[in-house]
Structure 1
Amino acid sequence: MRRQFDLLTEDQGFLENLGLPWEALNENSMLWILVHQYPLPKGYEQLTVSLAVHVAFGYPRTQLDMVYFNPHICRLDKKPIGALALQNIDNKIWQRWSRHRSALNPWRDGVDNLSTHFALIEYWLQREFIIKPYAISA
């Protein structure tokens, strides 16, 4: 697995504790953390995916934002997932989930990090079925 840039000690520890293959990719001066074989909650067609998080310049003072999936995620009930776009990362087309922190859940410098961003990703994955409850296809 590629380690093309150094992570914060706490972020590296978090990734190691996941027990999943991960990479730190520097692509055209954009830093990405890729986690492979990431398990999805029930309700999605895929059981596992690779996910990517862009590490913006200035992190950890600058917030982590959004999440990217490969392959693209689909719901079992075929309901559409909103606020999606495409992003080329590592010569693959990833599905970008445009999800962001809010004024009620701002980035907290010195508190938030990769582990709290992953907690937010889990929330977004589950929230998809709160916004549009699961429906069995006919």
Structure 2
Amino acid sequence: MRRQFALPEFDVKYLDTTGIDWETIVEPRDSRWLLLSSWPVPAGYTAERVTVALLIPAGYPDSQIDMAYFDPHLARQDGKAIGALATHNLDGRTFQRWSRHRTKQAPWRPGEDDVSSHLALVDDWLERELLK
């Protein structure tokens, strides 16, 4: 697994407990990405597992992680459309970008939020999408 940049130790410890393969890569223009292979997706989507990509911003962990990117692209099994999607080329693949963001009611909390809390939010987005 590639480790092209270092994450904070608390993120490494969390990621190592998930049992999921993960790697960090640096793309052109120095964008830093965390890729998690075989991330489980709730029943109701056309895939059971995906690679989740998170853009790790400069200044992280004080700066927030935003959105999530999936490969393969997700679709609902019931055929209902998923809103606010786009594509993003990353690591030689085309990921599906879910434009989902934190709110004023649930802002990024420096010193508290990290990769684990963002992935919990991603899981919540996936669950809530199926309720629409």
Q: Same fold (TM over 0.5)?
A: yes
Return the offset for 1:27.
Answer: 1.0
Aligned pairs (5 A) from 1:16-27? 16-27=16-27
- Letter of the aligned partner of 1:15 in structure 2? L
> Share of identical aligned residues, percent?
47
How many Å separate the matches in 1 of 2:27 and 2:130?
A: 33
* Structure-1 residue corresponding to 2:111: 110
- Letter of the aligned partner of 2:86 in structure 1? A
- Letter of the aligned partner of 2:66 in structure 1? D
Spell out structure 1 runs of 4+ moving beyond 4 A.
none
TM-score by length of 1: 0.93
- Letter of the aligned partner of 1:20 in structure 2? I
* Structure-1 residue corresponding to 2:97: 96
1:75 matched to 2:86? The reply is no
Structure 1 vs Structure 2 CA RMSD: 0.6
- Letter of the aligned partner of 1:111 in structure 2? E
User: Any gaps of 5 or more consecutive residues in structure 2?
Assistant: none
1:5 matched to 2:5? The reply is yes
* Structure-1 residue corresponding to 2:88: 87
How many Å separate the matches in 2 of 1:43 and 1:91?
A: 27
* Structure-2 residue corresponding to 1:135: none
Is the contact made by 2:76 and 2:130 (CA closer than 8 Å) also made in structure 1? no
How many Å separate the matches in 1 of 2:111 and 2:40?
A: 28
